[in-house]
Amino acid sequence: MNDSKVIVALDFASDKAAMQLVEKLSPELCRLKVGKELFTRCGPVLVKEMVSSGFDVFLDLKFHDIPNTVAKACESAAELGVWMVNVHSMGGVAMMEAARSVLSHDDAPLLIAVTLLTSSGEKELKAMGIDQSPANFVKRLAKMTQQAGLNGVVCSAQEAAMLKQQCGNDFLLVTPGIRPENSCADDQNRIMTPRQAVDNGSDYLVIGRPVTQADDPVRVLQEINAQI
C-alpha cells in the first residue's frame, strides 16, 4: 500500500515526456497527478496506463459545471480507476453533492474540491469583487465542501492548520505550491517547504517542477520523503 504523501504533478505537453519520467519512478515513492494540459492532449488511455503500472493517480480536472454534468464526469473518472478526483468548490453545494452521490461506493476514488488557486491572493480576489482575505474565503469554501460530504480540499499549505482546526483531522488537505528548500517560486504566490507543509497539517503535497525538471528525480523524491 502506498503511504507516500508526495503527489508528482505531471505538467508535460506529451504522453512521451510524461511516461519517460513515470518509468523512472515507483509507486512506493509517490503518487501522480494528471492535469488539464496532459489529459486534454493524451486522454484516458494515458491515465489507464499509469493506473495499470500500479500508481495512485489524482485526476486534477477541477470539474465545474451544472450538477448533472459534473456527476457524469466524476463517474467517468472513477471508471478509469483513479485514486482521487476533484471539482471546484465555487460550483456550489448542489454540484458537489451531485458528485458525491455518484462516488459513494466502497471502491470509489477520493473526492476533493479546489478552494482558492495558489496563484491567487488578495489582489486577485478583489479583482473578482470578493472583499475577503484569502484565508477567510478558503475557510468558507472548505466548510461548504465538508457540508457537501467530500473528503477534503485543495488548499495552500499556509491555510492547512486553520482548516484542520475548522474541519477536523479526517478532512484531507492536498496542498500545491510546495517547493523544497532552495527551489524557485515559479508562478506560485503562496508556497511552503515539504516539512513546513506537513507540520502545518497537509496530508498530501503536490510537487511539480522541483521533481519533474530535476537531473535525478528519484533522488529528489527520496530526499523529500525522508524529510517528511
What pLDDT, in 10s, does the model give residues 11-22?
A: 998 999 999 999
Beta carbons within 8 Å of 71's beta carbon, 6+ residues apart: 98, 99, 101, 102
Q: Which of 36, 62, 139, 143 is catalytic?
A: 62
Residue 25 belongs to some domain of the structure: yes
Give SS3 for 197: helix
Number of domains in the chain: 1
Domain that holds residue 27: 6-227
Residue 215 belongs to some domain of the structure: yes
The C-alpha torsion from 167 through 157 and 172 to 51, rounded to 10°, is 170
Calculate ∠ Cα 211-215-221, nearest 5°: 35
pLDDT of residue 77: 97
Residue 39 belongs to some domain of the structure: yes
CA–CA separation, 154 and 21 (whole Å): 24
Mean pLDDT of 41-50: 96
pLDDT tens figures, 106-162: 899 999 999 988 678 899 999 999 999 989 999 999 999 999 999 999 998 889 999
pLDDT of residue 28: 96
CATH number at residue 140: 3.20.20.70
Residue 1 belongs to some domain of the structure: no
pLDDT of residue 70: 98
Least confidently predicted of 32-36, 142-146, 193-197? 193-197
Based on the residue annotation, tell me whether 62 is a catalytic residue of this protein.
yes
Residue 83 belongs to some domain of the structure: yes
pLDDT of residue 183: 58
Predicted TM-score of the model (pTM): 0.92
Q: Is the pLDDT of residue 190 over 70?
A: no
Mean pLDDT of 215-223: 96
Beta carbons within 8 Å of 218's beta carbon, 6+ residues apart: 24, 25, 29
Q: Is the pLDDT of residue 185 over 60?
A: no
Asked whether 79 and 105 are in contact (CB, 8 A), the reply is no
Arithmetic mean of pLDDT over the chain: 93
Q: With pLDDT > 70 as the criterion, what percentage of the chain qualifies?
A: 94
30: left (phi over 0), alpha (psi -120 to 50) or beta: beta
